[in-house]
Amino acid sequence: MELPKTADVVIIGGGVMGASAAYHLAQRGMKNISLLEKEQFFGQGATGRCAGGVRYQFSTPINVRLSQASLPMLERFKEEIGQDINYRQCGYILIATTEKDVQAFKHNVELQNSLGVGTKWLSAEEVRARLPLMCFDDAHAGTFHEKDGLVDPNSVVMGYISAAQRMGVNALTGIEVTGLAVESGKIQAVITPLGSIQTRIVINAAGPWSGQIAEMAGVSLPVVPIRRQMFTTSPLPELPVDFPFVIDFAQSLYFHREGEGLLIGMSNPNERPGYDQRVDEAFELVNLEAASARLPMLEKAGLASHWAGLYEVTPDAHPIYGITPVDGFYVVTGFSGHGFMHGPVSGKLLAELILDGSFRTVDVSALDLARFGEGRLIQEYNVV
Ligand SMILES: Cc1cc2nc3c(=O)[nH]c(=O)nc-3n(C[C@H](O)[C@H](O)[C@H](O)COP(=O)(O)OP(=O)(O)OC[C@H]3O[C@@H](n4cnc5c(N)ncnc54)[C@H](O)[C@@H]3O)c2cc1C
């Protein structure tokens, strides 16, 4: 494989962020774009391992606005990009089992409603009535938004990559970036075992590995990889077709339909940062027990598959967009467990910053790298 000698922009990482950035830059007319992915296929990192959930239910205005811009892009995806992504609007139910969560959810629903998102408040009885197969005797309340749902992650990545390739983007797999050349505070080249690409602009879209890439440029990025895992069950014929995405918020335990069965995940609060992507079988048992207590029919179900992936986590659970202290070195990372759904708009925002000099679709200038040094953190409550 011939590596280009020069590029107007090199994007590192072929997950949803890199793919969306490549598509949006090319669509805006930028030429000579290279996208480098270290794996043999695109979308094998966090994106391909994610739960595919897309939602409007967030606790900060900026995250709600990112969803308001990004989810309609997913709704129009087939029309615009030419790829079916299987968007199912099954709705998300977030269930509060503590008084603290009730108070936080009240605030969140008010915020979402004020921004035009029609999230509904559910009483404890309404939660139980909507989920007759589940045990939520301890529910205090819940929230439901019917336009939240599920999308197929690999179709989104491949849709963007194929459309970008049709516009001339060099999207290459099996190429690991091993270094970045920086001179006088400016990015000069991307180094790989197959040679270097001279370039003035690099986008770090390496997700959980973005901290490693930043280090190559001498930039410190507060993004840590945290393992998260899930499993799918054998078919559960009793499950209604319109079973929603259910989140038992206090336990970070979630369920959604996957084919004829369910996909079930739970976040381990004691997980230490690291790159291990093997399933932690001891924690899988904890997850299975918690899930069976909520959905007793699981005792009859078999395990169909299981896997783990890495969240790319920042100290305030918000992403990092834009410039860094190295001229020409941009980042789009740190989505802390909910980046797949914000991938479409995030690639578009990077294209706007690079080509227009500012973010236009959503003002994410507050989500810059400098906020960590300046103490401008914005906490997100709805992290699962
Ligand atoms: C278990 C799990 C469940 C999740 N569920 C959801 C969900 O329901 N909804 C949601 O919105 N989000 C979810 N997320 C989060 C979401 O998956 C991520 O926020 C999003 O996919 C990040 O995309 P990305 O492109 O930044 O990273 P990635 O998809 O990881 O892409 C980065 C790419 O960079 C490549 N790379 C790394 N280093 C190099 C290098 N040196 N050279 C070249 N290439 C390199 C990697 O191989 C990788 O393909 C979940 C994540 C996990 C792990």
| Residues 98-124 pLDDT 10s | 999 999 999 999 999 999 999 999 999
Q: Is the pLDDT of residue 1 over 70?
A: no
User: What DSSP state is assigned to residue 293?
Assistant: H
Instruction: Answer yes or no: is pLDDT of 307 > 80.
Output: yes
When the pLDDT of each residue in the chain is averaged and rounded to a whole number, the result is: 97
Residue 121, H or E segment: strand 120-123
Instruction: Give the DSSP letter of residue 183.
Output: E
Report residues whose beta carbon is within 6 angstroms of any ligand 1 atom.
12-18, 36-39, 44-47, 49-53, 176-177, 205-209, 213, 228, 230, 309-312, 333, 335, 337-341
Distance CA 295, CA 299 (A): 8
Which tokens sit at 84?
Answer: 């079916």
For the entire predicted model, the pTM comes to 0.97
* pLDDT digit string, tens, across residues 32-64: 999 999 999 999 999 999 999 999 999 999 999
Q: What is the mean pLDDT of residues 214-236?
A: 98
In whole angstroms, give the CA distance from residue 13 to residue 206.
5
What average pLDDT does the segment 292-304 reach?
Answer: 95
Q: Per residue in 81-93, pLDDT tens?
A: 999 999 999 999 9
Angle at 280 between CA 275 and CA 286, to 5 degrees: 135
Place of tokens 């896997």: 307
In three-state secondary structure terms, 384 is: coil
Supply the pLDDT for residue 382: 81
* Alpha carbon distance 6, 123 (integer Å): 59
Mutation choice for ligand 1 from 194, 283, 338, CB with most ligand atoms inside 8 A: 338
For ligand 1, atom 25: residue with the closest CA? 15
Helix (H) or strand (E) holding 303: strand 303-313
Output Rg (C-alpha) for the chain, integer angstroms: 21
* pLDDT of 172 over the 70 cut: yes
β-strand partners of 182: 187
Residue 381, pLDDT above cutoff 90 = no
Give mean pLDDT, residues 132-145.
98
Residue 5 phi/psi, 5-degree rounding, is -80, -30
Residue with tokens 């410039």: 323
